[in-house]
Amino acid sequence: MTPSNRSSASSRRHAPPHRARLRAQGLRSVELWVPDIRSTRFAAARFATAARAQSSRAALSDNLQDDQAFVENLADWGE
């Protein structure tokens, strides 16, 4: 039986002995929080970080003047 097939009552019954066995092996339980890469907040932060990195690389480019002229020409395109 996989954990997803167990009822919560079954999990409550099986978890304490399992945790006790792990503790007997010298392990301890910890809670770990990680970024939720599926969230829109993470996606926005990741986009902002990538945009800053790309902007920094562009600013250090040997072709800075040409790159800037290209961007300015694109900006004028809609007018």
SS3 39: coil
Tokens of 13: 């019954």
Taking CA 38 as the corner, what is the angle to CA 37 and CA 43, rounded to the nearest 5 degrees? 65
**Residue 72 has what pLDDT?**
87
Is the CB of residue 36 less than 8 Å from the CB of residue 42?
A: yes
What pLDDT, in 10s, does the model give residues 5-62?
Answer: 667 888 888 899 999 999 999 999 999 888 787 888 888 888 889 889 998 988 888 9
Please give the Cα distance from 20 to 12 (Å, whole number): 13
Model pLDDT, residue 78: 62
